[in-house]
Structure formats: C-alpha cells, structure tokens
Amino acid sequence: MFGGTFNPPHLGHLLCAQAAADALELDQVLFVPTGRPPHKQIADEPGAEVRAALVAAAIAGDPRFAVSNVEVERAGPSYTADTLRALSSEVPGAELFLVMGGDMALSFHSWHQPEEIIKLATLAVVERDDIDDDAIRRALAGLRVRTAFFSMVRCDISSTLVRSRASGGASLRYLVPDAVADLIEVEQLYRLS
C-alpha cells in the first residue's frame, strides 16, 4: 500500500513505487489516494475523485501498479489503520507492506493507532539522504515493528512544484506522466482563477 494525497501524482511517486516493488519483490503496489486527511488541508484540492483519476492515469500500463478508492469512498477522515484493516479483509493472508518516506517513519509513533498498523503491515521505508536510518530506528524503538528499508533514485519533484507550474500554465513534461499532464490541461486543474 502506497498512500498519499497524490495532488497530483508525479514521476517521483512512480519511481518510489517501482523501487519498492523491485527491492521488496512485491507482487503489486496499491496506490491509495487519501480521501480526507485527518491532520491537514489539501492544498489546491481538486477533489478526491479527481486525484484518484489522476493516479489511475499515472499508473496505466504498469501491471505491477493498481489504485484503490477505499479512502476516497470512505466517509470521515482517512486513517491508515482503517485502510489496512479493509485491505486485509479483502485479501486474507496477503503480506502487506506500507510504503512511506523516512520523514513519515520519523513521525509514525504519533499516527492514529500505530500499534494496529504494525500488526497488519511491514513498514517499507524509502531511504533519504537527509534522514538517517538510525534516527528512524530510534523513532520506532518501543514499537514491535517490522521494517524494510529500500532506496530509490533521488528525485526532487514534488506535487507542490507541479501545482505551482500548472497554476501558471508552464509545461509539466518530464515531471508527471503525459496522461496526468493531459488531464491537468484538459480539466484546467490547479490554474489560478
């Protein structure tokens, strides 16, 4: 499971999913766009359904990737523990991994029901140059957590950058998959009014 706002999905997201699939020998990476994040507002929110459609466009053609609307369709805040419970019941016996960045792993102890999350999934943490793996291990100390670290090609693309460029009508080529750029253009997403 690779969750996030994906507002919009960009090549960095795809590189991370590919690195996780390769390094951890995953059968599938399931992208789960957040419905309503419990702790923050989504900047320039086009709507959860639109973000899910952007993810579907981004991953089209890669059989290792799929999208789930489980959080988009759920009322109320999107909590990872609830999502993992739902996915676990959909595919009983599946070994679940929760893909996250090192920054998210550092704050994991403050998440909603972290003990439930670690019962259901192994934390698959992408290594980052700016975050020490030992710091992550210290942050997770005290939790009985299964952790798998993996690395990816450095990619400094962010959704904030993509939205900023889209707001001014700048090219998104080489930042997002062409299908995502096309949807953003056709729907005039992230444009300043």
Sequence ranges of the domains in the chain: 2-152
Contact 80, 98 (CB under 8 A): yes
pTM: 0.94
State the Cα angle at 180 between 62 and 31, rounded to 5°: 50
Most distant CA pair in the chain, distance: 49
pLDDT tens track for 133-186:
889 989 998 888 999 999 999 999 999 999 999 999 999 999 999 999 999 999
Report whether pLDDT(193) > 80: no
CATH topology of domain 2-152: Rossmann fold (3.40.50)
The type of residue at 1 is M
* pLDDT score recorded for residue 162: 98
Two tokens, residue 156: 């400094």
**Higher pLDDT residue, 93 or 31?**
31
What is the C-alpha to C-alpha distance for residues 68 and 80, in angstroms, rounded to an integer? 13
